[in-house]
Amino acid sequence: MIDDVSEILIAEEELQARAVELGRAISLDYADKPLLLVCILKGGHIFLADLVRAITISLEIDFMAVSSYGTGDRSSGTVKIVKDISTSVHDKHVLIVEDIVDTGRTLRRIREGLMARGANSVRICCLLRKAKRQNLAIHLDYLGFEIPDRFAVGYGLDYSEMYRNLPFIGILRSEKYR
Ligand code: IMP
Ligand code: MG
């Protein structure tokens, strides 16, 4: 599996250190507020696990799964909720935990949906953003790293459902997805 990666973009230690920094910032910003973290599956699950252990205030966790990319490396153009949260967002401060923003379509759609359900606030904590002109500008309240506009795998991110278990963020060899 590791031979399919051409380059390590972000090492395991850097990912963990950044999750700790973000967790500390979130702990300060949400002190005394009812906080609900909504992790976007499947890609956000490893980031969530590191992030929540660095947050020192009480919080709830729920999960939502959406499909936007199908199984390949291109966006399908529509965002569908495949699994919804089971917690009420009413009067809570929601923080979406996501792996990566590319066009911004997925996060925009999720944020709009959660606002419409009566959340007190909806903010976004995203591990990675691709450095390019965004099709839909989306404000990220907490961002881990900006990366080049290439296809990233590992630390939760997949290509065709594989490579999520790599402990770092890497670039897949191009012959693996062509
Ligand atoms: P967007 O809707 O175009 O912003 O795409 C965001 C979603 O596409 C993320 O939730 C990921 O699941 C997926 N995605 C985008 N870029 C990558 C990548 O480089 N590697 C793995 N998944 C990606
Ligand atoms: Mg995702």
Where would I find the H helices in 30-65? 45-52
Q: What is the DSSP letter of 2?
A: G
Q: Which atom of ligand 1 is nearest to the CA of 69?
A: 8
User: What is the model's pTM?
Assistant: 0.93
Q: Would you say the CB of residue 96 lies under 6 angstroms from ligand 1?
A: no
pLDDT band of 177, cuts 50, 70, 90:
confident
Structure tokens at 129: 């953003």
58/42 Cα distance (integer angstroms):
24
Q: What is the DSSP letter of 117?
A: T
Q: Can 102 be counted among the known catalytic residues?
A: yes
Ligand 1 mutation pick, 100, 171, 173, max ligand atoms within 8 A of CB = 100
Tens of pLDDT, residue by residue over 101-135, are 998 989 999 999 999 999 999 999 999 999 886 66
Q: Which of helix, strand or coil describes residue 158?
A: coil
39/13 Cα distance (integer angstroms):
22
Question: Is pLDDT of 69 > 70?
Answer: no
pLDDT band of 174, cuts 50, 70, 90:
confident
Tell me which H or E stretch contains 124. strand 121-130
Among candidate residues 50, 99, 102, 158, the one labeled active-site is: 102
